[in-house]
Structure 1
Amino acid sequence: MVRPLRPPVRTLQNGAAWIWQIHSGPWRWCRIYHESGYTPDGVTHRDYGPLSRMDHHEMSPDEKPRRSPTGRSVLYVAESLMTALGEVFGEVFGEAEEARVCPNYRVAILKPRVPIHVLDLRLQGAAMRIGALPSLATAPYPRDETQAWARAIYEDQPVAGTKVRGIYYDAAYSNGGALALWDTTGDVVGVSVRGIRQDFALSDPRMWPRVQGEANDVLRMPASLVARRSCPLCS
């Protein structure tokens, strides 16, 4: 049984920080995204919300998502391809019990241009220190409840002497590390190797065997290629 998540008691304090810094491994951090006019590349932040678990967008008077009037934006990044697959397809296709991958799904390898401080929720006891629960990022709480915590963290800045620009948390579908980055446009960039941008379609023959291996063998989530007409996001 999941323990109820209480609303944040403002003003939040006693948080711990973690720093996302430039890494050496090409697959250390990545983002899977569905290419469209709204998301033309892997570093485009979303200013429309709140939609997802750790969105910090302001709540509108009618409690419906909208473009942030103050420019708040979010970018979700995973520490591995496996974690990214679990988060994206576990969220979108959870009821279908299958990862249906259309040609518009891509994976971009990302890195921070500058060190980015975030609130560390993976550290033992970190969530309790700010009055939250360790299950904040993993349990099936209503989105409006987790988003209220994201707004409180963003607005209260609970780490003394440090401005946090997001949250480092356990991904719900894989337990791997994930980042919800707030207002970091320009400070997150794509990785290039020997002049080649590391941004590939999941259906690319160079990528698809790895995608299938991670999804089927590790996540136990069957993965299949589908045409755009069969993709809910394309249609």
Structure 2
Amino acid sequence: MAFKNLGDKKRAAALPGFIDAAEKIQGLLLVVLVDKRIKSLFQQTGDDKRVNGDGDILSNWLPKVEGKLLRICHVAALLVAGLSRPGQNIVWISDQDEIAANDQRLRQLTEASGRIMSAYLEHALGHLRVGTTASDSGTRDVEDFVAIADLAAGALCEVLNAHRRAGVDFPLGIFVPNQKGMASKIDPLTWWLSSKRSQLKKIALSLEPIANSSKVNVRHYDFSAHGLPDCGKSL
């Protein structure tokens, strides 16, 4: 199950049952979108500054891929620091994208994430294990967990991009209806994202550039009934 494959009729038919099962998970689904106009969150005076001593690990990585890895690792570190307990074991599963494309990349991702998390954590963890969907046992359970995040991120990108193409922004506290012409596959996903009563809690954030500034704006997007984006809040 993946957002880009929802044009397939069989997958689309299975989607309602899939997201209904996801709603029964006791957990937090966090989606962080980064505006493509932001070249790097780690630039200082025009240079790409590696952080936490990771330059030796990532020295052969393209700057774009390195920046993606660092963004993901720092967000993951914030989550683990805020939500974990002392001695808790952490399993991080990624799809096989460019930050975990092969065994060497996966080892480097594991080492970099461990270093970055240690800068955020005030307590010791148990084990930190990092894997990809390639480690699925054949039951597809690992792929299903990764698909939950993929569906949410894909739907949010589709909604925000449709509004941006129409020149519609999200003023603070203002209800903004969906744009016409959006793909029908979005409908069950926006209904899902609007659910406030499920065991799976959802937070959608977007990092957007501020004109004539090196700072970024963090916006929280809420979804109300009928899957319509409710507002964007500056944080």
Check whether TM > 0.5: no
Which one has a bigger Cα radius of gyration? 2
Query: So what's the TM-score if we normalise by structure 1?
Result: 0.24
Higher share of residues assigned strand = 1
Higher share of residues assigned helix = 2
Highest RCO, 1 vs 2 (Cα 8 Å, sep ≥ 6): 1
